[in-house]
Amino acid sequence: MNPVDEQFSLFAPAGGEHHAEPGLLRVLTWNLQHASPERTMRQADWIAASDADVAVLTEISPGASAITQALTGHGFTVHVPEGGGGDYLTIIASRGGKAEPVTDIAPSYLPHRCAVIRLHTDDGHIVSVVGLYVPSRGPQERRNVDKRAFQDAVAAMLPSLADDLEAAGPVVIAGDLNVVEPGHQPHHKVFGAWEYGFYRAFEDAGYGDAFRRCHPETSDHSWYGRRSHAGYRFDHIFCSPQEVVTSCCYLHDPRISNLSDHAAMTATLTLTAH
């Protein structure tokens, strides 16, 4: 069994009541592909059946009412940023502990695509969680305008983020960043230096790539081109300090079963490890 398959077997949703494990935090991020209300219900069932303590969910339809209602029914507390108009949102859902929304930290551009909470776990740890959904390249008349402006605004936040959060524990940044890492396989010539620079901005600010920490040489992808079928590792989890990340993988079952066009991604933080 290769490392990705082994991780999949550890994280595949099995149903049943959720139980938080002392000293651990299990983080899930998933692009929900602006789902219809019917598909939203099935997505919420899948999330609830996973072992996730906190879920960063991206490409949420404006208002987020359907997913909020569905996840609340499963026992989650859901933080939805204000604003956005008709644009997509990022939300954070958590269960166990106490979620404290942080509303005064957001990028200066499209702030509703960023959600932030401090999660106070039942066993006394504090973890700051930041969810991001970077815009796609956009239509021809606005090619890369929103994407670049949002990336620049997020990159400007990163160096002081932990201080601004008054972080008393790890800081996790997760979501669909719509960029791939330098050296990504396969190579996609469409990405420019400014996009690779955005990826590097996380590590420059001290946030380690959770997947790369656990799988230094493994190739995996979270989204596949509709025509080319080529893979892209668009969805990411970064963490500081990176030493607390003890496992990380992509879960392809929800993509294969058409719950979304993205795989989910999960990571486990061992909070007593640092």
Residue 186: pLDDT band by 50, 70, 90 thresholds?
confident
pTM score of the predicted model: 0.92
* Beta strand pairing call for 231-232 and 223-224: antiparallel
Distance, in Å, from the CA atom of 235 to the CA atom of 175, rounded to the nearest integer, reads 6
Closest CA to 245 of 212, 216, 270: 270
Please tell me the predicted confidence (pLDDT) of residue 229.
Answer: 83
Contact 273, 57 (CB under 8 A): no
Q: Does the pLDDT at position 15 exceed 50?
A: no
Query: In angstroms, rounded to a whole number, what is the distance separating the alpha carbons of residues 83 and 205?
Result: 28
CB crowding 55-82: b at 16 or more within 10 Å, else e: bbbbbbbeebebbbebbeeeebbbbbbe
Domains and CATH numbers, the chain: 22-270 (3.60.10.10)
Mean pLDDT to the nearest integer, 195-202: 96
254 φ/ψ angles, rounded to the nearest 5 degrees: -65, -25
Measured CA to CA, the distance from residue 30 to residue 80 in angstroms comes to 15
pLDDT digits 0-9 by tens, 129-171: 999 999 998 888 888 899 999 999 999 999 999 999 998 899 9
Q: How many CA atoms lie less than 13 Å away from 170 in the CB half-sphere?
A: 31
At 50-88, the pLDDT tens digits run: 999 999 999 999 999 999 999 999 999 999 999 999 999
Residue 45 gets the label, from left (phi > 0), alpha (psi -120 to 50) or beta, of alpha
pLDDT band at 16 (very low <50, low <70, confident <90, very high): low
CB count, 10 Å around CB of 162?
17
What whole-number distance in Å separates Cα of residue 121 and Cα of residue 97? 4
* Separation between Cα atoms, residue 208 and residue 61, nearest integer Å: 30
Please enumerate, as own/partner, the contacts of 156-160 that have beta carbons within 8 Å and a separation of 24 or more.
Answer: 156/107, 156/108, 157/105, 157/107, 158/201, 158/202, 158/204, 158/205, 158/207, 159/205
